[in-house]
Copies of this chain bind each other. A is one copy, B any other.
Amino acid sequence: MAPPFSFRVLHTDGAARRGEMTTAHGVVQTPAFMPVGTRGAVKAVTPRDLREVGAEIILGNTYHLWLRPGDGLIARLGGLHRFIGWDGPILTDSGGFQAFSLGEKRVITEDGIRFRSHLDGSEHLLTPEGAAEIQAQLGPDIAMVLDECLAQPAPLSAVKESTERSARWARRCRDRFLQLRDLCAGEWRLDSETSESRTRVTNPGQAQFGIIQGGTVPELRTLSVERTLAIGFEAYAIGGLSVGEPADTMYSVVAHTAPQLPAGSPRYLMGVGTPIDIVEAVSRGIDLFDCVMPTRNARNGQLFTSEGRLTIKNARYADDGGPLDPACACYTCRTHSRAYLRHLFVSGEIGAAVLNTIHNLRFYLDTMARVRQAIVFGTLETLRQSLQAMFSRPLSDS
């Protein structure tokens, strides 16, 4: 039985698509932004806050959840949805990017990624099969294949070797995914323990996305597309970007790669990005995004508003009794002044992180709603220009 995963395009505006992605835990309007819940929690907010700001799908990190509290524990407790108290769609990355971020602490072989835990230094091996098993136990609606993310710039030979290896890993990861799916086929229920394996499949409706690598080399991107499409996944992501390359380079790679991906599947640009990055990528055919920027910046007092970026600790806001963003209807903007938000931030209050995160997520999700609307009305270019004007200039308060 095929998983309850589907995608249909409702409208287009140039290469941009306004779509609807159906997962085992509900429907997502695309283009969509996924708030990042690294360790099973989008930092500083509750599932209720996420609903209220308009999140339809969130992201969890396989690497972090594997090491703590462990995929076995989460599986025993019914899977990630039940564990974190979020019954909407969830996507988990494969752990490849986190392992990449460990730098010195990891060694990549054909087998997989050997690394030392950032928590206690213990040694672990993450294989393509293991990534599929861990995600089977976690039970997100969308699992990602294990890929190798390469630091840029890198010699062409290294990029080619890495791209080829990612394709081989994708094959192994898909095989294990399909094997686990077959084992529990027809058991469309939670906690269906498979008979031939100790891996517990907590979400039989899980889909798996392949990841296109190839660095900034068009030929290698094309090669990666061919290899990955040949394996066949429910949908495809573009990985290995937003790792330090110039924005224009990223846009070029997206423009080159996205049209080669099937029109009938959503396209996910991993780890991107600023509001400008998002609208630029949407206009090149991307449907899904995730980034820590709105949540991390919120905790650092960097806020996104309809008037541009704003640094809340700036002294000019000490006496400012107006709302953070007069155009925003989030709880923070409805309730508190800039002066109060500055006071909380300067005082190191936990509430500053909470209120700033609610706002920044709402800004991002409102922006996605505007993007979707613009595609329907054929006005994406106008929106793109207005976001460029708003966020290209220096900070409004610097």
Minimum Cβ distance to chain B for residue A350 (Å): 4
Residues in chain B near residue A83, CB distance under 8 A: 337, 339-340, 343
Residues in chain B near residue A353, CB distance under 8 A: 350
Of the candidate stretches A4-12, A45-53, A203-211, the one touching chain B is A45-53
Residues in chain B near residue A77, CB distance under 8 A: 319, 321, 337, 339
Q: Do the beta carbons of B321 and A44 come within 8 Å of each other?
A: no
Q: Within the assembled complex, what's the spacing in Å between the Cα atoms of A83 and B343?
A: 10
> How many A residues touch B, CB cutoff 8 Å?
40
Q: Do the beta carbons of B351 and A44 come within 8 Å of each other?
A: yes
Q: Do the beta carbons of A343 and B40 come within 8 Å of each other?
A: yes
Q: Do the beta carbons of B343 and A350 come within 8 Å of each other?
A: no
Known contacts A68-B343, A318-B69; A45 and B78 CB within 8 A of each other: no
Q: Do the beta carbons of A73 and B41 come within 8 Å of each other?
A: no
Contact bitstring A38-73, B, C-beta under 8 A = 1, else 0: 011101111110000000000000000000110001
Q: Do the beta carbons of B46 and A347 come within 8 Å of each other?
A: no
User: Which residue of the partner chain, among B46, B48, B318, B336, contacts A85 with CB atoms under 8 Å?
Assistant: B336
A377 at the interface (CB under 8 A from B): no
Known contacts A40-B340, A340-B83; A351 and B45 CB within 8 A of each other: yes
Count of this chain's copies in the oligomeric assembly: 2
Minimum Cβ distance to chain B for residue A39 (Å): 5
A392 at the interface (CB under 8 A from B): no
Residues in chain B near residue A27, CB distance under 8 A: none
Q: Do the beta carbons of A321 and B46 come within 8 Å of each other?
A: no
Contact bitstring A311-350, B, C-beta under 8 A = 1, else 0: 0000000110100000000010001110110111011011
Query: Which residue of B is nearest A42, CB measured?
Result: B351
Q: Do the beta carbons of A76 and B340 come within 8 Å of each other?
A: no
A354 at the interface (CB under 8 A from B): yes
Residues in chain B near residue A346, CB distance under 8 A: 68-69
Q: Do the beta carbons of B44 and A350 come within 8 Å of each other?
A: yes
A383 at the interface (CB under 8 A from B): no
Q: Do the beta carbons of B43 and A355 come within 8 Å of each other?
A: no
A84 at the interface (CB under 8 A from B): yes
Minimum Cβ distance to chain B for residue A359 (Å): 12
User: Which residue of the partner chain, among B46, B76, B299, B337, contacts A319 with CB atoms under 8 Å?
Assistant: B76
Q: Within the assembled complex, what's the spacing in Å between the Cα atoms of A349 and B319?
A: 31
Q: Do the beta carbons of A350 and B354 come within 8 Å of each other?
A: yes
User: Which residue of the partner chain, among B41, B335, B354, contacts A349 with CB atoms under 8 Å?
Assistant: B41
Residues in chain B near residue A347, CB distance under 8 A: 39, 41, 68
Query: Which residue of B is nearest A321, CB measured?
Result: B77
Q: A46-B354, A85-B335 are in contact. List 20 more A-B contacts (CB 8 A).
A: A39-B344, A40-B343, A40-B344, A41-B351, A43-B349, A44-B350, A44-B351, A44-B354, A46-B335, A47-B335, A48-B335, A68-B347, A69-B339, A73-B318, A73-B339, A77-B319, A77-B337, A77-B339, A299-B350, A350-B354
29 pairs from A and B in contact (CB 8 Å cutoff): A40-B343, A40-B344, A41-B351, A43-B349, A43-B350, A44-B351, A44-B354, A45-B351, A46-B331, A46-B354, A48-B331, A48-B335, A68-B346, A68-B347, A69-B318, A69-B346, A73-B318, A73-B319, A73-B339, A77-B337, A78-B321, A82-B321, A83-B337, A83-B339, A83-B343, A84-B340, A85-B340, A350-B350, A354-B354
The 7 closest A-B CB pairs, nearest first, are A44-B350, A85-B335, A41-B351, A77-B321, A69-B343, A39-B347, A85-B336
